Structure 1
Amino acid sequence: MARSDEQNRQARERAREKILLAAIELFGEKGVAGASIADITRRAGVAQGLANYHFGGKDQLISAVIDRWFEMLFGIPQVPGTPDERLAGIIDGVFMATGFAMPVQRAVLSMQQQPVTHRLFAESEERFGQQATESENIVRELFRERGAADPALEEVMLRSTLEGAIIKYAVYGESFPLEDARRWMHRLYGLPEPTAPLPLDLPPRDEDLRIRAIRAVRSC
């Protein structure tokens, strides 16, 4: 029995998503230069020609991975409530995304640093420019309501601190104390202590806290 147009569309979407997820995994594991289209389609379990059909080439596939990261970043839900509740929601949302989406975080982190892909990252950032500005303005207004003298600087420093935690978790894996870092940020901004841990499968913190890259290697 022939498939309907809708079934064909769904099959194409599934194949595209498989390729994208395989690219995220392999770019995170091997870097962009170390992962070929053949490697990616083999990991995805699809014909190699489908990568060109859906993305057109490796650069376009890299851009799609970066776009997925921006979609995830700007898809973090906004928590309603007081300025403190909204700030806590932003912090918790970023730490949740860090714990759940480490493959894409690790892949995009390498792309931000490499000259060969920095242009693609900048182009993707430009595509999401309006969303980035709107997101920044939301956070700046939040700090303005909290009485900050320089809301723009507060927004930049919050983003820089959160991005630092993302980078550390990407590099050092489970040896980085993600839950404790989240609680530290709550204290930094004078927010109430969280009543429950994030719903992530995190190992207990080492008593002698030392972050080591070998833990990230072992978790790959």
Structure 2
Amino acid sequence: MARSDARHRLARERAREALLQAAIEVFSERGVAGSSIAEITQRAGNAQGLVNYHFGGKDQLVAAVIDRWFETVLGFAQVDGTPDEALAAVIDGALTATAYALPLQRAVLAMQQQPATHRLFAESEARHEDAAKAAEDAVRELFRARGAADPALEEIMLRSTLEGIFVKFAVFGATYPLEDARRWMHQRYGLPEPTTPIAPPVRLHDGERRPRATGILDSGA
């Protein structure tokens, strides 16, 4: 009986995760307003009623996507090593997520700005307030250990730079020199040059760098 319960629990967890991943993809492609529960459940391969069962409705599904984003980005600051090693890991973790979790980042970026979903973002932010403060404080301590005159401002500007890189990558795609930007950041903070590429690999750009949204026309995306 216990084994059967465990199988049912695992099946429920898989169904919920499939719906969450499908929602991330659809919200990224169409925005929240342009997305339907029917499309999300079809992509997940689940019955439409399972959204209400697992989440309670569309707003709660949106909130779950935002929660997943917070859980992802707040993990960047939880690193070990010397201050320089830890700062490099924060930068590389954020840029790896930019390359790897683009649909999630793109979906939540829109949610941050749209009036219809901004409140849901703010509510999720409130749920993660303690973790957000802990992550900010961890990065500020890195800058303090490196001798920064204003660790709080350094943390804010680092976060702003990383978020700016994401926005540009979301707009310009493969034409944006993400690996080059990573190496620039290492140089900006006096960190060793990376010896391995971020994962998934993003090539260094040869020749003149000119990010263009028209890259999507060539990729067929």
Shared topology, TM-score over 0.5?
A: yes
Alignment of 1:1-220 (within 5 A): 4-76=4-76, 78-203=78-203, 205-216=205-216, 218=219, 220=221
TM-score (norm. length: structure 1)? 0.94
Q: Which runs of 5+ in 2 are unaligned?
A: none
- Greater mean deviation of Cα atoms: 3-12 or 178-187: 3-12
- Greater mean deviation of Cα atoms: 165-174 or 75-84: 75-84
Residue deviations 1:79-109 (CA, integer Å, cap 9, x gap): 3222111111100111111111111011001
- Once residues 206 and 116 of structure 1 are traced to their aligned partners in structure 2, the CA distance between those partners, rounded to angstroms, is 42
- How many residue pairs match? The answer is 218
- Once residues 102 and 118 of structure 1 are traced to their aligned partners in structure 2, the CA distance between those partners, rounded to angstroms, is 20
Moved runs in structure 1, 4+ residues, more than 4 A? none
RMSD: 1.5
Letter in 2 for 1:80: D
Query: How far 1:206 moved relative to its partner?
Result: 4.9
TM-score (norm. length: structure 2)? 0.94
- Once residues 123 and 63 of structure 1 are traced to their aligned partners in structure 2, the CA distance between those partners, rounded to angstroms, is 8
Do 1:139 and 1:155's aligned partners in 2 also have CA atoms closer than 8 Å? yes
Letter in 1 for 2:134: E
Q: Which runs of 5+ in 1 are unaligned?
A: none
Do 1:171 and 1:216's aligned partners in 2 also have CA atoms closer than 8 Å? no
Would the alpha carbon gap of residues 109 and 219 (structure 1) be closer, same or farther in structure 2, given more than 3 Å must change?
A: farther
Query: How far 1:77 moved relative to its partner?
Result: 6.5
Letter in 1 for 2:132: A
Would the alpha carbon gap of residues 115 and 206 (structure 1) be closer, same or farther in structure 2, given more than 3 Å must change?
A: farther
- Once residues 153 and 36 of structure 1 are traced to their aligned partners in structure 2, the CA distance between those partners, rounded to angstroms, is 41
- Once residues 219 and 105 of structure 1 are traced to their aligned partners in structure 2, the CA distance between those partners, rounded to angstroms, is 21
Would the alpha carbon gap of residues 176 and 189 (structure 1) be closer, same or farther in structure 2, given more than 3 Å must change?
A: same
Would the alpha carbon gap of residues 124 and 47 (structure 1) be closer, same or farther in structure 2, given more than 3 Å must change?
A: same
Query: How far 1:168 moved relative to its partner?
Result: 1.0
Do 1:175 and 1:206's aligned partners in 2 also have CA atoms closer than 8 Å? no
